[in-house]
A and B are shown apart, each in its own frame.
Chain A
């Protein structure tokens, strides 16, 4: 098979962060090649390198057997590469044909030849089975049709190799199926498609070959038919390195958090949680495993009052808190360590003490008669800096001057020292160095042994095995199954993460 694209030892760094490390990638011509990996695995960076948007620090790009230098997207387009971005770049007030030819208008006597543009758009639309009305205004069209226009733009520029960055993220299932059909049509006409995704199902469904990226490296390139979904999951999340469970003393008590048949939508208004039920008892850590993007974030947001649920109930200590505000849920005794700590967890420009104050500014002794008790705040800040080993110059250091691990310790110091009975902990050690990881894990165990009910969401399996008493596996917004923390079977968990229920699996599914 001739190769449409060959990337040789591509390395791309952003400061100290290595987004792509020594990536080799061979894409056969006339095939659909999927690139899969978790968020932050380096998929988009790699494609931006291929499209000339980013310059690699090392490595070579070969297209159709020729070594190419791609200083900008124009060079990539000239080499026959087209890219359909995740976020569309269309002008709503222009027609479909005008958008397709935007920046490369067909001219006649110095004026735009609208008739020719409409004709050409209709031709392309017929040839590739991308149904559009060339004269319609884009602002009136659905997202699925907007995507077709983006693809037509790429085709009109003569692309033979088409890169689609998470094309299905914005589509309904029906639109996705239509897209897959279009893509098969492309390869039938000898074109090559590169398809970026983190959805296993669609990769299995549509691709001929698949490459798996993990932490910036290409860990495997195989024909899709040789792989199962659980193979893919294991390649994506990596082999488990250690099973060292932390010792635990206290035993579990009564149920603190009870979730029943919980449904919620994501930011695109698509269902993200589809009937989730489970319970968390005092002195217990319940882990939530899953490939990122299967509803875990939404679960944490709904439970902390930051996202509305559409159905189902949440109870805390027997009291219904469904639909309560973030403030009420905090007051009822829920602490929350958010997954996106730099966005939600801290004000990066504020001092450590001001970050520790959040959520309790109205409570005595933190404030009295509405006036912040600065002496108390300072004293508490110093005590918490010591207790949580936050490495900072002092209570007035800004959060942004600290490392990721120390920022996370600020969040923990705040959330673990209130009088919460229940802690929602989302990705506690993502982007945190090893040393800080140890101390964060230790702190979570102390909270467990102090009788807190803990829901621990993590995409790192070894973290869950270390800490969790039970592990629930999420897939597609549902809980696929439950695994006891001390008897984790790698194969079984991989299958559950891929959305497959193992036959020999006899554990209770769902509720605690």
Chain B
């Protein structure tokens, strides 16, 4: 219990430190840090519409974060969530505009396409990791570029909407993920993300299979000794992570854009990985870190309107936070004699 408090407290401190450094950066561009932070808060939470906007940005980060949590818990690093998201987004859209089906069925099929696309996109790295111990960080990162360019190629060369931008035709309304409120594009994706976070948390803390995955992540030799099939489980964990990554793309396509275009979802996959890291791989914690990143993203929109600071300042602050928190985690890990377990949350 005190362990958990220590960890949260340390991370809160790290974020404050990063914001302090960010304030210095803001001073160098002759802007008042207080004004920037107030504008950010106002932009993120100043009205129901803005809160909804923040949650809209939070949703894909959260789902991608959960995808990352799944792999982290098994001691694996799926950094290819961005690519899985692009593939999921594209194929969900494809099902959305290629077929004309009854509403619920159409949505379900489009979502399934997203999940399958995500799984397919991680299948090769997952197989090589499980079978030959090929470093999954490298292979999943590389797969990102292929996914982003491949979906862009498909969009421009095969499915481009006639006479428009580099985007596909819009999907049929029967494949829309319903919106939650009339005043925002915020949709059921958020609910899916929250349910998924709780579900994944319960899976890892309450089920036999979740226990097996957790132990594989904590001490693979112990897991192997206990009779857990490391190869098979490694493959399955990565596939599950890819499935959720694909789902994030499906939610973004079917809930927000209703089409697929170039630059479909910039950086959500990476933000999700970072949100999950900041939360120590805990899906419940990821809800809050994803919200934090979502707020930074949506707050920065008002920033450009109301202050002289550019929204790139947000990227700088984000980078500082990541730096401070990873430094804090490293110090904690060095201070403690243990290695792997430090990242894990308790039962």
Chain A residues in the interface with B (C-beta under 8 A): 304-306, 325-331, 336, 338, 343-351, 354, 357-359, 361-362, 366-367, 370-372, 374, 400
Contacts and interface: CB of A to CB of B under 8 A. Distances in A.
A345 B219 CA distance: 10
A343 B226 CA distance: 12
11 contacts: A330-B227, A347-B222, A349-B341, A350-B341, A354-B215, A358-B223, A370-B208, A371-B206, A372-B207, A374-B206, A400-B337
Contacts of B218: 347, 349-350
A348 B229 CA distance: 21
Contacts of A367: 207-208
A346 B222 contact: yes
Contacts of A329: 227
B207 A371 contact: yes
Nearest to A327: B227
Contact of B209 (A327, A336, A370): A370
B232 to A, nearest CB: 10
B209 to A, nearest CB: 6
Interface of B: 206-209, 211-212, 215, 218-219, 221-229, 337-338, 340-342, 344, 347
Contact of B215 (A358, A370, A374): A358
Contacts of B342: 349
A345 B208 contact: no
Contact of B222 (A331, A358, A374): A358
Interface centre among B206, B207, B209, B225 (most CB of A within 10 A): B225
A371 B227 contact: no
A313 to B, nearest CB: 21
Nearest to A301: B225
A331 B208 CA distance: 17
Given A327-B227, A347-B222, A358-B226, 16 more contacts: A304-B225, A306-B225, A329-B227, A331-B227, A343-B221, A343-B222, A346-B219, A347-B341, A348-B219, A349-B338, A349-B341, A354-B347, A358-B225, A362-B208, A366-B208, A371-B208
B229 A357 contact: no
Nearest to A414: B226
Q: Which of the listed residues A338, A343, A372 has the most CB atoms from chain B within 10 Å of its own CB?
A: A372
Contact of A361 (B211, B224, B337, B344): B211
A350 B207 CA distance: 16
Contact of A372 (B206, B219, B224, B341): B206
Contacts of A325: 227, 229
B221 A327 contact: no
Contacts of B228: 327
Contacts of A359: 226-227
B208 A361 contact: yes
A436 to B, nearest CB: 21
A82 B175 CA distance: 73
Given A347-B215, A372-B207, A372-B211, A326 B341 contact: no
Nearest to A355: B222
A372 B210 CA distance: 10
A362 B209 CA distance: 8
Contacts of A328: 227
Contact of B225 (A331, A336, A371, A400): A336
B133 to A, nearest CB: 15
Contacts of B206: 371-372, 374
A37 B275 CA distance: 51
A347 B217 CA distance: 10
Contact of A327 (B211, B229, B341): B229
Contacts of A343: 219, 221-222
Nearest to B215: A347
Contacts of B225: 304, 306, 326, 336, 338, 344-345, 358
B176 to A, nearest CB: 35
Given A361-B208, A362-B208, A372-B206, A348 B341 contact: yes
Nearest to B212: A361
Q: Which of B207, B227, B337 has the most CB of A within 10 A?
A: B227
A230 B293 CA distance: 69
A347 to B, nearest CB: 5
A51 to B, nearest CB: 26
B97 to A, nearest CB: 39
A305 B307 CA distance: 66
Given A350-B341, A354-B347, A326 B211 contact: no
Given A343-B221, A349-B344, A370 B229 contact: no
A346 B223 CA distance: 9
Given A306-B225, A359-B227, A350 B208 contact: no
Contacts of A344: 221-222, 224-225
A367 B226 CA distance: 16
Nearest to B343: A349
B219 to A, nearest CB: 5
A183 B207 CA distance: 59
A348 B338 contact: yes
A400 B347 contact: no
A305 B338 CA distance: 28
7 closest A-B pairs by beta carbon, nearest first, are A349-B341, A327-B227, A358-B226, A361-B208, A359-B226, A367-B208, A344-B225
A374 B224 CA distance: 23
A410 to B, nearest CB: 12
A195 B219 CA distance: 35
Contacts of B337: 400
A358 B212 CA distance: 8
A347 B219 CA distance: 6
